[in-house]
Structure 1
Amino acid sequence: MLTKLSILITIILAMLFSGCSKKSTTSTTQQPPKQEERKYSLERVGPARVVQTYADGFEQLSQQEKIFSYYLYLASIAARDIAIDQHHPNALEVRDILEQIYTHSNGIDAVVLEKITIYLKLFWLNNGFYDNLTSKKFVPECTYEEFRGAVEIAEKNGAQFKTETESTAQVLERLKPIIFDAAHQPMLTNKTPGDDWIKNSAVNFYSSNLMYKEVEKWAKNNEKYPLNSKVVKENGKLTEKIWRAGGDGVEPGVYANDLNAAIMYLEKAIPYASSEHQKGTVEKLIKYLRTGNPDDFREYNIHWVKDSSNVDFIFGFIEVYLDPRGQKAEFEASIYYTDPAQTAMMQNLAKYAQYFEDKAPWKDEYKKKIDRSPIANVINVVIETGGTGPVTPIGINLPNEQAIREQYGSKSVLLHNIVDAYDKSSGKDILKEFAYDQEEIDNQEKYGTVADNLHTAMHEVIGHGSGAV
């Protein structure tokens, strides 16, 4: 589960008008610059601000841990296009066109190119053309005619747009409503009462000829891969298209190429794992990515939640926020390492988790007996892709399966370098606008960061970690 309180970005961004947060990360093995030399706010892109994050402490990791992180980093990049395709069936095609224009832009009108570039950057930040926070579609500020003119110039410069079956003009005409019509598929995930939640959601988890009620009826007895499959209707019959790599007798599924590319790097990471247990964690993840079997995913989660390695990761089909049914999971990857200096608060909260549980304002039958303290760490992110990046959470508690949480516990992490970048890049204008008086401003400046971190820590450790079903 993700905590969306204030947002920044993974490649490096922070949304301006957020009550939630997400971010991006880059790592370095060099000594970080002194605090006063650091730059956090890098660029304004439409309604977003791109923000730099810093991987403090990475240089103190062992060589083995650094190499392990590096291969996990490459695995995260290898599979990130999965999330883009999950956002819309034409998203990758649109991105390719935008990048072809951007890389073959000589001669394009500067004003038009700037508008297309802003749209491309927003696409990169949101993994598609839907706002990560509002779920609403955004469109370029240029006209279709200006866009088409830019394509024609880029094509003369060597850009490739046509396909084996379509001319460039036909490709543009087909994609015109997808790119330029804000009223065409206006919401990524639409759960408006009275609307058909599947028919009116653009997310690429169901074929366009399906309705919500027929999927729900079919799913009761037929949905075998709830997290990692697309439901399609072919010749009047509903089936699951499984997201898996295949191999060892298992038929490859959707996203097999991306997942196999990621597996290649995960396998390279295994020799650099910090323990036999962590090696087993990576091996179980690979097995799940190959088979797509929910039982293999459960085994991986049980093994992962017992792993307390300094360098850790989240990888796979995890969160179901994008699915109007709350079943299909968006791909995500997060690679991070523990910040020992910042972890004491989280671990102290975890130590007293039973105290907070006992004081909870609900019946004893719904209170959880906590046999072990939850794993709770403050971490610094190396990279986040898919559902966690570029727009990133500030806190995470996993695994999501309640039975595993009750029997084996959970991990809670507070993303320290993400929160730090958000705090350092946020101006005082909003605070001054909404604060009641100078005393409130002074208290926020003095205690705001500590209070935010405590709030997130309590949400992840005490909130998600509590309660019995």
Structure 2
Amino acid sequence: MVPPIFKRLGIGAVFNALDKSERLYAHHMSRAAWYGARIVFRQVSPEANSIFDLLMELHKSCHGNWYTLLGEGADTDEAKHELRRFLEYAALFLSNMGNYYGQGDQKFIPEVSRQFMDSLTSKSLCAERLAADCLDSMLSPKPGILGYPSSAAQSTYYPNPITGEEVRMVSDTMVQNCIGVENTRIVKYPRADDEMEYTFDILQASVGKDREPRLVGRLEAGVGAHVRLIRGDHSQDLRRVNEALSEAGKYCANEAQRQMLQKLQDSFRSGDLEAYRDAQKIWVKDRSPKVEILFGFIEAYRDPYGTRAEFEGVVSVIDPEGSKALNALVERSQDFIAELPWVKDAAVDGKNGPFESDLFEAPEYTSVHALTYCSSMVYLGINLPNFEDIRQTVGFKNVFIANRDQPLADEELSYEVNAPFVHETERRRFLLHLQRSENQKIAIHELLGHGSGKLLSSASPAGVANFDVQNPPISPLTKRPIVTWYKKGETYNGVFGDLATSIEECRAECVGAYLMFESELLAIFGYTEMSEVKASDLINNLYLHIGVMGLNALRSYDAEINKWTQAHARGHFAMFRVLLAADDFMSLKVNKELKQLRVRIDETKLMSCGRKAIGDLLLHIHIYRCTADVEAARKYYGELTAINDEWLGIRDIVVSHKPKREIFVQGNTILEGDVVHVKEYERSAEGVLQSWADRSTMLNI
């Protein structure tokens, strides 16, 4: 394992700027977030909670002085190196909130021997018992990915073997019964009275429990399976989340926040996602709160079916100064929407054409510092809610996590491990500009990527068609009237299933890359051809970075089951492929003997070839998304992201270059009397473990 990069989510300065009531609100919201930690562990793998307990017990048994666990005579250099590798594994586990990478969904294991682990855990009877529960799973490389249960994959959303078609049928039954899918899991098992038939139990996350399962239907004829709803999944954890939300409610800044927290509690108590949707509507309207929160079962990246979501609890503090440029971008957003491929040639009478909303409702866009980020991955940018009807009728928010954004130190700018696929002569310049270009792209990605587009529906949230069904618009792809659109009750995620998140992330990434050429947009952030870092520097960097990301994406392709395991990665590979095909704009040099890859671009062809190729990809997936044309999307996107033997050989070279993983060290809020302060920790594996040990003790997680 390449030593990870430790980064602290520093919060002290902005937190100290809050008043007493705001700090108390943030403190209790932080506790509510961390009370959901067990839910995240449980959603990642069956063994994750036991591994967490083992790490906490080992920390407790040595009081954080890890080298005492080696014992007298056993503290050799080799043993110390092995302990260091174990501590780095432990920090990686805690940072990813499970034993699968938050980005890529691939399993990681400690690079230590079974003998070492047996010796380490023998110092405590409790540790020995916990090790007996989880050590085999912890040390085994299998199942290697998250996915439908098989010899190669596992998913706690579907604890027992189940097919994608069965998941679809159960999910359809849920929709027919107005049962939301995001906060559920599905368990399949033979019926006790007939082993030839099956029961599918829907486990719904809620504090409340039912005495008996509720029969909600049977699957299609010929399957003969009962579908039952069982409330009470994650019950104990959600009860504690709600208790902390109640305490936070005493310190809300306004009535909207009180109503939002009440709706959140109602949803967690009952499992009803309508209450959660109500909370999201109120949240969108709560503009520029000093303490911003994101709560619930939010992102469906890790569900192989693409609809069931992971719990998240995020508490952050607004950075007014950092928000100024983002707000300026919001104010000019319609100007840049007008430059997108489906708008530029279709706008009439000031309207944006059939595949974009007529009026871009300016959302909120704030820069914040994360105080608490209880999730398997710390995102740089966030755009919520994910419910498309709420986005179209109420609006959405964008959040940029400023303290996650940390550049490399000067001495790291030339290290090959930080950019192994960039030519030696270009590496320092590439790494020097990488943070700025990535930030710029993310700003566009969240606001104008996820924020753009119109889903054409014959039964929109308003109850009527949002286009002329009798005279459908002309598709810019076929030059003929569209023949597909969303029907009553259909959603983007429901129609596109496993493709949904990847296509949407690819679309947003393409918008970011396409609009980077708008000089007035970059000027908002201070980048022109006269600034120290030029606008052209960022554009060059971004397009070279697409090549780097496309290669790195291959890490998230599982060759054993021929499957992409990460939505963003598949999108990056699609962008990489179209640029490689763009008239010699991008080149890839492969040296199999040296296990060397070098990607380069011709900067003279950025506009004529690079942007044009991205624009073409963007137009295709945007129109497919708008018109619910999943069949065409699956063919186009599937061919673009198919991996043949040549790419598998390149993948072997990519994975031979071990990347440095980021590990974020988060602080804890501590309440003394009625005063809240933040305790921060050192940037090290020991710092990560100490932060979680303190958290576990304070909250009894």
| TM-score where L is the length of structure 1 | 0.78
Aligned to 1:382: 371
Aligned to 1:230: 185
**8 Å CA contact 1:99, 1:120 repeated in 2:** no
Q: For 2:86, what is the secondary structure of its paired residue?
A: helix
Return the letter of the residue paired with 2:320. Answer: P
Aligned to 1:6: none
Separation in 2, partners of 1:395, 1:201 = 29
Q: 1:439 to 1:307 in 2, by over 3 A?
A: same
Q: CA deviation at 1:247?
A: 8.0
Q: CA deviation at 1:466?
A: 0.6
Q: CA deviation at 1:180?
A: 1.9
Q: CA deviation at 1:181?
A: 1.9
**8 Å CA contact 2:210, 2:231 repeated in 1:** no
Separation in 2, partners of 1:426, 1:398 = 37
Q: 1:113 to 1:450 in 2, by over 3 A?
A: closer
Q: CA deviation at 1:203?
A: 2.6
Separation in 2, partners of 1:247, 1:307 = 32
Q: 1:432 to 1:296 in 2, by over 3 A?
A: closer
Equivalent in 375, 387, 406 of residue 401 of structure 1 = 387
**8 Å CA contact 1:435, 1:441 repeated in 2:** no
Equivalent in 243, 250, 267 of residue 205 of structure 2 = 243
Q: 1:454 to 1:107 in 2, by over 3 A?
A: closer
Return the letter of the residue paired with 1:294. Answer: L
Q: CA deviation at 1:53?
A: 2.6
Separation in 1, partners of 2:362, 2:83 = 54
Aligned to 2:86: 116
Structure 1 residues 88-121: Cα deviation after superposition (integer angstroms, max 9, x where no partner):
1121112222333343354534415444333322
**8 Å CA contact 1:377, 1:412 repeated in 2:** yes
For 1:224-373, list aligned pairs within 5 A.
224-234=179-189, 235=191, 236-246=198-208, 253-308=232-287, 309-362=289-342, 364-370=353-359, 372-373=361-362
Q: CA deviation at 1:77?
A: 1.2
Equivalent in 138, 142, 152 of residue 179 of structure 1 = 138
Return the letter of the residue paired with 2:174. Answer: N
Q: CA deviation at 1:436?
A: 6.5
Separation in 2, partners of 1:113, 1:88 = 24
Aligned to 2:164: 212
**8 Å CA contact 1:225, 1:242 repeated in 2:** no
Separation in 1, partners of 2:31, 2:127 = 27
Q: 1:432 to 1:230 in 2, by over 3 A?
A: closer
Separation in 2, partners of 1:213, 1:62 = 53
Separation in 2, partners of 1:274, 1:63 = 11
**8 Å CA contact 1:198, 1:324 repeated in 2:** no
Q: Percent identity?
A: 23
Q: For 1:366, what is the secondary structure of its paired residue?
A: coil
Q: CA deviation at 1:371?
A: 5.1
**8 Å CA contact 1:397, 1:413 repeated in 2:** yes
Equivalent in 42, 46, 54 of residue 89 of structure 1 = 46
Q: CA deviation at 1:139?
A: 1.7
Separation in 1, partners of 2:174, 2:256 = 35
Return the letter of the residue paired with 1:316. Answer: G
Separation in 2, partners of 1:319, 1:443 = 31
**8 Å CA contact 2:9, 2:371 repeated in 1:** no
For 1:118-137, list aligned pairs within 5 A.
118-137=88-107
Return the letter of the residue paired with 2:23. Answer: K
Return the letter of the residue paired with 1:178. Answer: S
Q: CA deviation at 1:288?
A: 1.2
Separation in 2, partners of 1:432, 1:459 = 23
Q: For 2:233, what is the secondary structure of its paired residue?
A: coil
Q: For 2:399, what is the secondary structure of its paired residue?
A: strand
Q: For 1:409, what is the secondary structure of its paired residue?
A: coil
Q: For 2:313, what is the secondary structure of its paired residue?
A: strand
**8 Å CA contact 1:358, 1:367 repeated in 2:** no
Return the letter of the residue paired with 2:19. Answer: S
Separation in 2, partners of 1:384, 1:412 = 16
Aligned to 2:610: none
Q: CA deviation at 1:255?
A: 1.1
Aligned to 1:65: 22
Q: For 1:429, what is the secondary structure of its paired residue?
A: coil
**8 Å CA contact 2:22, 2:251 repeated in 1:** yes
Structure 1 stretches lacking a partner, 5+ long? 1-44, 163-167, 190-196
Separation in 2, partners of 1:329, 1:365 = 31
Q: 1:215 to 1:435 in 2, by over 3 A?
A: closer
**8 Å CA contact 1:284, 1:296 repeated in 2:** yes
Separation in 1, partners of 2:360, 2:108 = 48
Separation in 1, partners of 2:435, 2:69 = 48
Separation in 1, partners of 2:161, 2:209 = 31
Separation in 1, partners of 2:373, 2:167 = 32
**8 Å CA contact 2:58, 2:127 repeated in 1:** no
Separation in 1, partners of 2:391, 2:3 = 38
Return the letter of the residue paired with 1:412. Answer: N
Separation in 2, partners of 1:103, 1:180 = 22
Return the letter of the residue paired with 2:184. Answer: S
Q: For 1:153, what is the secondary structure of its paired residue?
A: coil
Equivalent in 428, 433, 438 of residue 413 of structure 2 = 428
**8 Å CA contact 1:432, 1:441 repeated in 2:** no
Q: CA deviation at 1:131?
A: 2.1
For 1:144-183, list aligned pairs within 5 A.
144-155=114-125, 159-162=126-129, 172=132, 175-182=134-141
Q: How many residues align?
A: 401
**8 Å CA contact 2:167, 2:305 repeated in 1:** no
Q: For 1:267, what is the secondary structure of its paired residue?
A: helix
Q: CA deviation at 1:449?
A: 4.6
Aligned to 1:48: 4
